[in-house]
Amino acid sequence: MRPSRLLLASMLVLLASSAEARTLDDIKKNGKIVIATEGAFPPFNFFRGPVLTGFEVDLAEAMAKRMGVAIEWRALSFDALLAGLRQDRWDLVIASFGITEERSKAVTFTNPHYCSGGIVVSKDPAIRTPADLVGKTVAVQTGSTYLENVSKLTGLKEVKNFPKDTDCRSALVNGRVDAWVTDRFVAKAALASSASAGLRAGDFVFVERIACAVKQGNASLAQAVNEALAGLMADGTYEAISRKWMNEDIRCR
Ligand code: ARG
């Protein structure tokens, strides 16, 4: 049976409207913002038992409160997060994404909510600088800026990538790789939480600014997030959340 013209027309309307990102007004009317994160990147976003928590979870909750909306959280694999924005499966992503030129072609970044960078982590005191990685096997998360930047180094024996950053940590702890390149604060937390593993934090491989992402061109939402973040940075809330998780204020300066 051939679909009627009316059916075809209404399908087109549906397609067109589902391809439209929700503006700030749409979200406010609905009362809920859908935010996606990974949930496997402590201390930024991770699960404590069944509970999604971390610096970025607290920060997003505080931003949403300022915007007058509730959050409906989604937790997905890291590589699914930006793609889902393009498909309007959620309104915002907060998952420690560094602002890169490549990503900026696909999504719109807000102002950064922290500044950090990828550092060398190893058990071997002789492996602490990017130059020390020559001839070594290095673990990095798939799709991350760690992979991107480590791939630019020459002379490595092998770059092993894992879907989750926590798998990189396990590979290092179990001696399957010589080094792990990850966020400096992730490394700091890993060193503190598993002191017996003998991990050591080395030097920066690169630095980056970390921000939330919205669908490309969703300016009203990006602006609302920027305003909420600026408010939290001005009234002490940001500093309190940052100190709770990191023992320091990690905003970009
Ligand atoms: N900052 C790095 C990047 O931009 C890693 C982010 C990892 N985030 C995560 N939720 N696992 O690619």
Four-way CATH pick for 117-208: 3.90.25.10, 3.40.190.10, 3.40.50.620, 3.50.50.60: 3.40.190.10
- Say if strands 200-215 and 92-98 run parallel, antiparallel, or are unpaired: antiparallel
Q: What is the DSSP letter of 236?
A: S
Mutate which of 96, 101, 115, 204 for ligand 1 pocket (most atoms within 8 A of beta carbon): 96
Distance CA 79, CA 196 (A): 31
Q: Are 20 and 88 in contact (CB under 8 A)?
A: yes
Same fold, 5-114+210-246 and 117-208: yes
| Cα dihedral: 99, 101, 107, 113 (round 10) | 10
Distance CA 94, CA 44 (A): 9
Q: What is the DSSP letter of 127?
A: -
Of 34, 218, 183, which is closest to residue 97 (Cα–Cα)?
A: 183
Classify domain 5-114+210-246 at the CATH superfamily level: Periplasmic binding protein-like II (3.40.190.10)
Q: List the chain pLDDT tens, one digit each, 253 residues.
A: 455 555 555 554 444 444 579 999 999 999 999 999 999 999 999 999 999 999 999 999 999 999 999 999 999 999 999 999 999 999 999 999 999 999 999 999 999 999 999 999 999 999 999 999 999 999 999 999 999 999 999 999 999 999 999 999 999 999 999 999 999 999 999 999 988 899 999 999 999 999 999 999 999 999 999 999 999 999 999 999 999 999 999 999 9
21-32 burial, b at 16+ Cβ within 10 Å, e below that, comes to: bbebeebbeeee
State whether the beta carbon of 46 lies less than 6 angstroms from ligand 1.
no
State whether the beta carbon of 237 lies less than 6 angstroms from ligand 1.
no
